[in-house]
Structure formats: C-alpha cells, structure tokens
Amino acid sequence: MDTLLSGQLLFSALVIGSVYALTGLGLNLVYGTMRLLNIAHGDLAMLGAYLAFWLFSLGQVSPLVAAPLAVIGAAGLGALAYFGLFQRQIERAPAVEKLEANSLLLFLGLSVIVQNVASLAFTASPRAVTYLDSIYRIGGVSMTANRLVILGVSTLICIATALFLRYSVYGLAIKALIQNRSAASVVGVNVGRIQLASMMIGFGLAGLAGALLSMAEQISPFMGFPFTIAAFVVIIMGGLGNLLGGVLAGFLLGFVEIYGVVLTSSNARSIILYGVFVGVLLLRPQGLLGGRRIAR
C-alpha cells in the first residue's frame, strides 16, 4: 500500500501521461481536421528521438536544442505527406469511409517503410543517452532532471496548444473544421491551408514527444507503435476535438499503466496498454464519431 501512495509512482505516471497527452494531441488534430487516421504517428516520435540522439551523441547538441529541430523536421514531413499524398486523397475521396480506409492503408505502408529504413540506417538495437540525469529530491520524491523537463515541457506545450486553439484565429478555424467541414468553408475558412497547418502541427507534436523522450528512455526503430496505440486511446477516450478531455485521458492512461505494472509485474506493461486499448474500443465501438462532438 505504501508503494502505491508514494510520490515516486505518481511522478512516473505524470511523466508518461504527459507524453501520451502530447502525442494524442497531435493525432487528434490530424484526425479531427482531415479524417486521416495516422497509424504512423508514433513513428514520427521515433524519428524525433533519433534526431535528438544523433545530434547529442555526434555533436554534443543538447536534446533541448534538438527538440525544436525535431518539431520543424516532423512538421516538414507533415507538409511533404500532405502535398505528396493526402491532399489528393482528401479532395478525390468519394466518401469519408473510403478516405479513412485508404488513408489507414497508406499510413500503414508508410509506417512499415519508415520503421525499416530506420532499422537499416540505425540498426535495430536499442540505444540510449544519459542527459540531465542529476537527481533532485522534492518532498521525499527523487526525480531526475530529464523527467522533470519532459513533464514540464509536455504540459506547457499542451497548455499552449489549447490556448492557441481557443484564442487565435487559426485555432478557431481548426476547431471549426473539426466541428463541421462544409460549414467551415462556407464561413470563409481556407480549408486547404488549415489542413496543412493541422498536419504540420500534429506531426510536429509527435516529433517533439520523441525528442523529449530520448533523454530518459531507450529508443529503437520499432518504439513508435505503442505511442500510436496510446494516442488512439487518448483521442477515443477524450473525444474528437476535445483537447482537455484528451489531455486528461493521456494522464489517466499513464496512471493505469504505471499503477497496473506495480500491482502486477513489469511483463504486464504491454498487456495493460493493449488491454486498455481493446477495452476502450469495445466500450465505444463507434470510435470517435459516436461520442459527443465537442470542440470548445
């Protein structure tokens, strides 16, 4: 019981939860505005992680400097994917269902390509760096600096994105698109530009999550998929376009995972993650669209 109440565990749950919230936020934007179910979302985090890893181990560049670069790089890939593949798909799709199915298969293909190119280029063996691993003790809880940074930056970016969506014209346009596509274009939202922006921001957030994570966790070419699954859980539980709900769902998933592992064994981690995922989808079989469509 003591271990369950310890601040240590709470801290771990908050850290992983904030990363889940961040990745979920990105997927939410991409799916919400374009109905593109990006199964390669976690692979962008993997690319961000490798960027930070190589810059640090080859050039001694701090992962904190690499993080904005990862955002820019991933956003660039978002623009590339948008213009190269998905703009045409969105414009030509006869129906939303067809677009969803096709985009899923396209992203599946891209995911396999990216993972295996990474595995060829970087080898499949896991890698890790030690950066900011000095330990702080606050209120009896020891925290490494890198995890504090992960928690702080992820939370800040989540809040900043929420504020951006709430108060800026762009943010409002993104929400309008999530709520009702055709009505948004009628009232003068430049759909094409907003889609591009959403894709770039969504991809960028995933890249950021990866770069942050590389400071504290092992990375490998195949690390992405659990994050994709976590992001799906986050947006299905939180609701489409509901950013606050998504962030809460991210933290909740972090708690379930960390406390679940403590109560059972570390081998159960994947069972818990996929179990929650399967459970959530079985309880909400309509997926996102069946839920209340909040976009406040």
Residues in touch with other proteins (CB under 8 A): 37, 39, 85, 97, 100-102, 104-106, 108-113, 115-117, 119-120, 229, 232, 236, 267-268, 270-271, 274-275, 277-278, 281-282, 285-287
Q: Which three-class secondary structure state does DSSP give residue 10? A: helix
Quick one: the chain helix, strand, coil %, rounded to 5? Answer: 75, 5, 20
Element at 144 (helix H, strand E):
strand 141-144
Q: What are phi and psi of 142, to 5 degrees?
A: -90, 130
Closest CB to other proteins among 20 and 56? 20
Closer CB to other proteins, 63 or 202, in the complex: 202
> Cα(first)–Cα(last) distance of the chain, in Å?
39
Provide the minimum distance between the beta carbon of 97 and other proteins in the complex, in angstroms, as a whole number.
6
**Which residue, 63 or 245, is less far from other proteins as judged by CB?**
245
Separation CA 14–CA 8 (nearest Å): 10
CB of 153 to other proteins, least distance (A): 28
Residue 68 or 126 with smaller CB distance to other proteins:
126
Q: How far is the CB of 175 from other proteins (least distance, A)?
A: 22
190 or 264, CB closer to other proteins?
264
β-bridge partners, 144: 135
* Least Cβ distance, residue 27 to other proteins (angstroms): 11
CB of 143 to other proteins, least distance (A): 29
Contact 133, 1 (CB under 8 A): no
C-beta separation of 45 from 23 below 8 A: yes
Element (H, E) at 48: helix 41-59
